[in-house]
């Protein structure tokens, strides 16, 4: 599920990457990584518009889980309503997606 995104492009009008997680206790998400490859240009703009509609002021990810992003990275959180279809090589020992590629929205 998508729990946030990193804006990009002119005026932050597109998605640079989505932050994905798997359902955890209490309706929260367990962060498994960010996905920034596999998007088409028009898809990046359309997805940014969809994610803005479900914006959230708080992270949907479980407390205490770092996102591993560089300090100062602009992150926009969302309500976990959209299901991402992501292809990846494997899960790392830390539970992160290795070489994830965006395939689209599911459902």
> So what's the pLDDT on residue 100?
97
Residue written as token pair 């359902």: 23
Summarize pLDDT for 42-97 with one digit per residue, the tens. 999 999 999 999 999 999 998 766 788 888 899 999 999 999 999 999 999 999 99
Rounded Cα distance, 38 and 59, in Å: 24
The reported pTM is: 0.93
3-state secondary structure of 87: strand
82 DSSP assignment: P
CA 4 to chain centre: 5
What is the mean predicted confidence (pLDDT) over 14-32? 93
The length of the chain in residues reads 107
């Amino acid at each position: 599920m998508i729990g946030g995104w990193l804006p990009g492009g002119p005026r932050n009008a597109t998605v640079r990457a989505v932050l994905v997680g798997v359902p955890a206790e209490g309706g929260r998400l367990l962060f498994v990584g960010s996905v920034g490859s596999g998007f088409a240009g028009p898809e990046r703009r359309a997805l940014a518009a969809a994610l803005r509609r479900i914006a959230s002021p708080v992270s949907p990810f479980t407390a205490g889980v770092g996102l591993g992003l560089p300090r100062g990275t602009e992150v926009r959180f969302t309500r976990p309503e959209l299901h991402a279809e992501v292809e990846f090589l494997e899960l790392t020992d830390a539970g992160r997606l290795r070489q994830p590629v965006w395939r689209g929205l599911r459902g």
